[in-house]
Amino acid sequence: MKCDVAIVGAGPSGLILAHLLRQAGLEPVVLERRSKDYVLSRIRAGVLEKTTTNLLERLNLADRMHAEGLVHEGFHLADGEKLIRIDLAELTGSSVMVYGQSEVQRDLIDAIPARGVEVVWEADDVALHDVDSDAPRITYSKNGTSHTLEARFIAGCDGFHGPCRKAIPETVGVTHERVYPFGWLGILADVPPCDDELIYANHANGFALASMRSATRSRYYIQAPVDTNLDEWPDERIWDELAVRLGPEAGGRITRGASIEKSIAPLRSFVFEPMRHGSLFLAGDSAHIVPPTGAKGLNLAASDVTYLSDALIAWFKQGDQNALDGYSSRALARIWKSERFSWYLTSLMHQFPEHSSFEREMQRAELDYIANSRAARESIAENYIGLPL
Ligand code: APR
Ligand code: PHB
């Protein structure tokens, strides 16, 4: 089989890229290790920047988002007692869209047949060959039969654990990494949210986040050790802890209910550069990870593939090599700023085991500064709604 661009991974990066390339008349093929149902069942952050909603509009994939998504004109930081509102609308004239990543993923998958995007689900043993040549290939197997996919370019949209980044020789790339000494214990429940807006709380017991999927479905998180045994956290214990950490006002408004999902996720900051080697281009989680504080992961995936599709289309349509040559540095300029903001918000809002009273006082003073300084709130708001492309 032959195609213009072989895309490894059918997460948000891979599918948005495939739709963008199809819209321009190119022929991508997507290879995904998992089944369609598995990909649809993954639960992840759901705060979309304007640049991401614009992109979905450009793809004519935004109808359900506009019908069911929630426009948020602000969010809160909590310091254990009071709520500090970051008024996005007033500070930036903009807003964010709360729409779960699973829903974005469903919209992308539902449009596959009508748009003529080819996706091979449950493609096993994906291996990249000759990526430093003009004729790269991917071998894979499906239902026990071996196949070869020839392409002019390969897009590595295969997430943090996929094979594409590993196909770049270690001597060529540089890794920057910070692993945080805690994780997020998440709970999803069919109960109304405790507030109309998201609340990120810094509490002596640890961070907490109140988020939502709809007016009747809530998503909450608490900071917990990565090796936490979920059996030790029955629902009631999580609700009790959320009520304390979110502070008296929001904590008192929590509606409790049975969890429909419960999981623990590690927190990591990670960047691999450059995001290109020969005919292979990395996009999304395959090249970078942000901790979820600020919900930048999906938005960064969307900006990467916007840059990458522009560059690939310029190459195929005009023979322009410059855009492809500039892809990695263009994408990294935005990535590093989102890395900074995610790291900053993580550092500000969590309890770190190595912190002394000095660092805790620094957090307290910074939250007090944010509460009383429009300039500080404006800077947070500008980053939260998303920096320009
Ligand atoms: N062969 C084929 N596909 C693979 C392989 C492989 N060997 N390894 C991984 N994949 C697939 C995964 O199954 C997954 O569906 O690549 C896809 C990568 O998707 P994501 O992990 O969602 O990464 P990305 O599309 O870059 O999206 C980034 O989504 O995952 C969140 O937190 C992340 O919000 C961020 C955004
Ligand atoms: C979520 O709803 O899952 C969510 C929201 C905001 C974040 C992280 C996760 O910063």
pLDDT one digit per residue (tens) for the chain, 389 residues = 999 999 999 999 999 999 999 999 999 999 999 999 999 988 888 899 999 999 999 999 999 999 999 999 999 999 988 999 999 999 999 999 999 999 999 999 999 999 999 999 999 999 999 999 999 999 999 999 999 999 999 999 999 999 999 999 999 999 999 999 999 999 999 999 999 999 999 999 999 999 999 999 999 999 999 999 999 999 999 999 999 999 999 999 999 999 999 999 999 999 999 999 999 999 999 999 999 999 999 999 999 999 999 999 999 999 999 999 999 999 999 999 999 999 999 999 999 999 999 999 999 999 999 999 999 999 999 999 999 99
The ligand 1 atom at the shortest distance from the C-alpha of residue 124 is 1
303 closest CA partner among 259, 278, 337, 279 = 337
Phi/psi at 38 (5° precision): -65, -45
Decide: 14 in ligand 1 pocket, CB within 6 A.
yes
With a CB cutoff of 8 Å and minimum separation 6, the contacts of 54 are none
- So what's the pLDDT on residue 139? 98
Both tokens of 129, joined, read 């060959």
The sheet carrying 75-78 orders its strands as 83-86, 75-78, 199-201, 208-212, 218-224, 174-189, 259-273, 288-289
180, 291 Cβ separation under 8 angstroms: yes
Instruction: Give the pLDDT score at 80.
Output: 83
Ligand 1 pocket check for 159: Cβ under 6 Å: yes
The Å distance, Cα 361 to ligand 2 centre, comes to: 26
pLDDT given for residue 93 in this prediction = 98
What pLDDT was estimated at residue 46?
A: 85
Give the separation between CA 149 and CA 1, rounded to whole angstroms. Answer: 5
Distance of CA 241 to the CA centre of its chain: 26
For ligand 2, whether the C-beta of 11 sits within 6 Å is no
* 12 touches ligand 1 (CB under 6 Å): yes
Q: Provide the residue type at 71 as one letter.
A: V
What local confidence, expressed as pLDDT, does residue 167 receive?
Answer: 97
Q: Tell how far the Cα of 20 is from the centroid of ligand 2, in angstroms.
A: 26
Active site residue 200: yes
Question: How do beta strands 70-72 and 137-142 pair?
Answer: unpaired
Over residues 265-317, the pLDDT tens digits come to: 999 999 999 999 999 999 999 999 999 999 999 999 999 999 999 999 999 99
For residue 13, how far is its CA from the centre of ligand 1 (angstroms)?
Answer: 8
CA distance 227 to 215: 32
Report which of 108, 151, 117 is spatially closest to residue 131, judged by C-alpha positions. Answer: 151
**Model's pTM, two decimal places?**
0.97
72 is catalytic: yes
- Does residue 317 carry a catalytic annotation? no
User: Whose atoms come closest to the Cα of 263: which ligand?
Assistant: 2
CA distance linking residue 289 with residue 286, whole number of Å: 8
pLDDT at 45: 81
Contact 136, 154 (CB under 8 A): yes
Predicted pLDDT at 42: 85
What is the topology classification, in CATH, of domain 2-47+99-177+268-346? FAD/NAD(P)-binding domain (3.50.50)
Instruction: Report the C-alpha gap between 198 and 210 in whole angstroms.
Output: 6
The residue with tokens 């430093």 is 132
Q: Where are the alpha helices (DSSP H) in the chain?
A: 12-23, 36-41, 50-58, 63-68, 88-92, 101-110, 112-115, 235-245, 247-251, 297-318, 322-349, 357-372, 374-385
Residue 49 Cβ inside 6 Å of ligand 1? The answer reads: no
Residue with tokens 């550092």: 347
Which is the closest atom of ligand 2 to the Cα of 295? Answer: 10
Decide whether any atom of ligand 1 lies within 6 Å of the 273 Cβ: no
Domain ranges of the chain: 2-47+99-177+268-346
Q: How many distinct helices (H) and strands (E) make up the chain?
A: 13, 19
Alpha carbon separation from 309 to 15, 21, 150, 279, 296 (Å, rounded): 12, 6, 19, 14, 20
